[in-house]
Amino acid sequence: MWHSTQAMADEIAAGIANEGVSVRPIHIRSSHRSEIMTEVLDAAAVVVGSPTLNNQLFPTVSDFLVYMKGLKPLNKIGAAFGSYGWSGEAVKLINKELEAMNFDVIDPGIRIQYVPEKKGLEACFELGKKVGQAINEKI
C-alpha cells in the first residue's frame, strides 16, 4: 500500500536466497492470479504479505488467498508478514488461511507498524532465512 510491505518482502526474499534457495517475489497487483498459481504449485514455500486495511487484508491479497484455497495446493511451507498503521490483523488473517489450506506455517509471522526500520528489516531477513532452511530440510 505504501511500500512498507514491499520493503519487508524484499528482505524476506533476500533471506531465502541467502540459504541458497531460488526465490521469486511476485507483486499480486501486477500479476494475474493464474500466473501466480502456476508459481505457487511449483513452489516448496509460499510467503504471503499484506498491509492491514480497515482491520482486514488488502483486497487483492484476500482475493488471491480465496483463489489459492480453491486450487488446494499440497505440501507447502507457509509464512506471513505485513505492515500496519493501527491494528495489524493481516498477518493473523493470512496465517488462518494458510492453516486452513494445511500449509506448514513455520513462524507466527512478522508485523511491522508503519515503515520498517533496520531492526524490522533484519527480522524480515531472518524470517526469510528460516523459510529457506525449512525448504532445504524438506528437499
What pLDDT is recorded for position 17?
Answer: 98
From start to end of the chain, where are the E strands? Answer: 45-49, 52-53, 56-57, 77-84, 104-105, 110-113
Question: Residue 139: pLDDT band by 50, 70, 90 thresholds?
Answer: confident
Domains of the chain, earliest start first: 4-138 (3.40.50.360)
- In sequence order, what are the residues at sequence separation of 6 or more whose Cβ sits closer than 8 angstroms to the Cβ of residue 3? none
Q: What is the mean pLDDT of residues 110-117?
A: 96
Residues 18, 135 contacting (CB under 8 angstroms): no
Give the residue with greater pLDDT, 139 vs 42: 42
Q: Tell me the pLDDT of the chain averaged across its residues.
A: 96
- Quick: pLDDT tens for 21-35: 999 999 998 999 999
pLDDT at residue 1 is higher than 60: no
Tell me the mean pLDDT in the region 89-110.
Answer: 98
Residue % of the chain over a pLDDT of 90: 94
Q: Determine how many CB atoms are found less than 10 A away from the CB of residue 94.
A: 25
> Is 45:77 a contact under the CB 8 Å cutoff?
yes
Tell the residue number behind the cell numbers 534457495, with chain if given: 21
This prediction has a pTM of 0.94
139 vs 32, more confident: 32
Q: Which amino acid is at 78?
A: G
